[in-house]
Amino acid sequence: MTDIKGNIDEKDKILNTSAPVQESSSPMTEHELLDPDKMYEELEDKIKKSCHGMDIGRIRAAYEMARTAHSGQKRKDGSPYVTHCVAAADISVDMGLDEDSIIAALLHDVIEDTSLTHSDIAKQFGTAVADIVEGVTKLTRVQYTSKEDEQMENLRKMLMAMAKDIRVILIKIADRLHNMRTMAYQSPAKQRSKSLETMEIYAPIAHRLGMQKAKWELEDLSLQYLDPAGYKEITDALAKKMPTLEKFMENMKQKIEKRLEAEGCKASIFYRIKHVYSIYRKMYSQKLSINGIFDLCAFRVIVDTIPECYNVLGIIHDMFKPVPGRFKDYISTPKPNMYQSVHTTVIGSEGIPFEVQIRTWEMHHTAEYGVAAHWKYKMSDGGNSVKTGDEDKFAWIRRLLESQQESDAQDFFHNLKIDMFADEVFVFSPKGDVINLPAGATPIDFAYSIHSDVGNHMVGAKVNGRIVTFDHKLQNGDIVEIRTSNSAPGPSRDWLNVAKSGSARTKIKQWYKKERREDNILRGSQMLFDELKHLGMSAEEVLCEEVMTPVLKRLSFATREDLYAAIGYGGVTVGRVANRLKDELKNLKPDPKKSVLDKVSQAAERREQNARKEKKGVHGVLVEGLDNCLVKFSRCCTPVPGDDIVGFITRGQGVSIHRRDCENYQKRMGNPGTDGRWVKVDWAKQITDSYVTTIVINAKDRSGLVMDIATVFNSLNAKVRTLSSKDTGGGQACTVVSLEVKNSGELRYIMNRLSSIAGVSSVERNGR
């Protein structure tokens, strides 16, 4: 192993006194790495000593299967590959996992790297073991367009397996922990990529599961390869400070022990130095040198009962001066990862601040091993039944997946990093219920954490009795009250920019997806058109069937409308779609027959128009690229079938249909601000509806004029909606008529008949 491991081991040896919690085994020597049988014998001895009641024969059979399956495969250090499987099982034993977990750890790579299948494992070891192994297995047989997509889908699959059996992720962490311990044999590029993945995914997952020992080691090992100079600077500085720190901590320990003994309080006391990455992060965030970090030391006091925790806290505060604002009670308000302790920071006799954590032994097991402590207690109880309430401890995984089930891989990963990995804030409902949210959360996040209906009907919020805005950032201890109304219009799209938690954002998107499909289609299509224009691409060129069909398939959308709707409600980013379209366009090979491109394009356009006219459309109108969208006819020009028309995408009201000779269209078609919102529309071939339009009759004002106009409409059986006439001065009158017609031909005939009335100077349609 490299120097880092030696430094960590030496530090642990100096700073940790013996405790009843079983420590991880030290790294195996080079000779042991090359001898898997000897490694397995040591593993078996460990199981016999610490894991009573396990079927050793079944575990040995799993080792034999793994050794045979991986026969001939080597690791980078030259040792047989099965040594890695034994090491992962060894870590699983240290975690205190059950028999099936140890067997699954031995077999965790056989589905991925050998010819063995799920059914092979299930046949010999049962479905539960086979399911765990399959959950750990990566999606190596699926083709992805990018490494990022592959990583995100692997994580999604692993988390889905977690929802069924939490042991999947525990074994994956054991697998990653051993890989990081032996990362020195990999190439520098592999070291960095795996360390970054560990830091971004596996260490935070270990933290979310409450597995602090695994988290600390994963972070320290990753830091060694991500910033070797920074890591060395810290370990060298700690080595120099160690004699002084060790003397100080031993002195403080003796003082605390003596006082607790005098108070009749039975307790075990341990001390440690902050782990390397924790120091590194504090130095970086606060721009400090290691000499500027004063709380390098931490003490842990472990007692038998919760009342004793608070008794010890009072004694510590009596002995040393507490630092204001540094007291945290995670016993009464546990962290979501089940962590419980009382934390306080005090000033020692030498003026050196140090942290004291006070907890019970059960809390200590949970703090060290997180959800893995579940199996330690099962075995210590001598049974295999699940403890009451354990399902609730793991329910957050299912809730997380349920809230992300309709997200694409990229959105899923982004939301996951917020919901699982971010720092947290604890707030209270008016009834005193504790709600944990990501740091920076707002009342919107709080409302949706209660229930989707609360968020969707939210109209206001109070924090600590005061009305606040929706973007107000919640702080620890805030009491939040949400005001709702059944007449609330629903969430605003701006909430997507305000909400911090992925679950709230997903619920807002789900509301828009369900309640505003037509608006989403229009909004999404406009966003895509604008993005394509921004990228300098022609919408007609990019949105052809040859380009769209493979992109729709790759993004898992059945139709264009589904894609537009997803863009509109935020289910997929417009940039991602535009880039996929751009890539697909580049992949199209040039066709030598394109010398007659114009003729082919014209023929294709005619075929498309004919095909579109076969469709019924909405109100007899077909909008290019959209089906079943909201259509309305503009009042400024009131078009009817037969008119040359164009569509304008409005904000939230669908597509407005105008005549091409409409004054408003003529004025606005060259406007850069609205140019991209005009879309191609056409009349359907089969139309049975009547359409309302408006005509203006200018004539010489005389008695009986209105009666003559009404007589013409009556003789033609024309349905008149409204008719109004007024004197315009100079002996002239203007009559405006709103009527229903089938098409422009019928309208022209009516207008010709009106023109023959005595004194009529003109009959025109409005909008010209």
Active site residues: 112-113
Please give the Cα distance from 751 to 730 (Å, whole number): 24
Please give the Cα distance from 303 to 270 (Å, whole number): 12
CA nearest neighbour of 376 among 52, 25, 105, 17: 52
Strand pairing report for 631-633 and 655-659: parallel
Residue-wise burial string across 346-372, b where 16 or more C-beta atoms lie within 10 A, e elsewhere: bebeeebbbbbbbbbeebbbbbbbbbb
Count the helices and strands in the chain (H runs, E runs).
34, 21
Rg value, the chain, Cα: 36
Please give the Cα distance from 426 to 372 (Å, whole number): 25
Please give the Cα distance from 331 to 484 (Å, whole number): 33
Q: What is the DSSP letter of 51?
A: S
Tokens coding 512: 């828009």
Enclosing H/E stretch for 361 = helix 361-369
> Phi then psi for 420, rounded to 5 degrees?
-100, -35
Q: Which of helix, strand or coil describes residue 711?
A: helix
> Phi then psi for 529, rounded to 5 degrees?
-60, -45
Please give the Cα distance from 168 to 176 (Å, whole number): 12
Q: 757 burial class (0-12, 13-18, 19+ CB within 10 angstroms)? A: middle
Q: Hey, what amino acid is at 10? A: E
Q: How far apart are the first and last CA of the chain?
A: 85
**How distant, in Å, are the alpha carbons of 499, 568, 629, 656 from that of 512?**
15, 8, 15, 22
- Could you count the other beta carbons within 10 Å of the beta carbon of residue 573? 16
Q: 462 burial class (0-12, 13-18, 19+ CB within 10 angstroms)? A: middle
CB 415 within 8 A of CB 401: no
Residue-wise burial string across 624-651, b where 16 or more C-beta atoms lie within 10 A, e elsewhere: bbbeebbbebbebbbbbbbbebbbbbbe
Q: Hey, what amino acid is at 604? A: A
Q: What is the DSSP letter of 758?
A: T
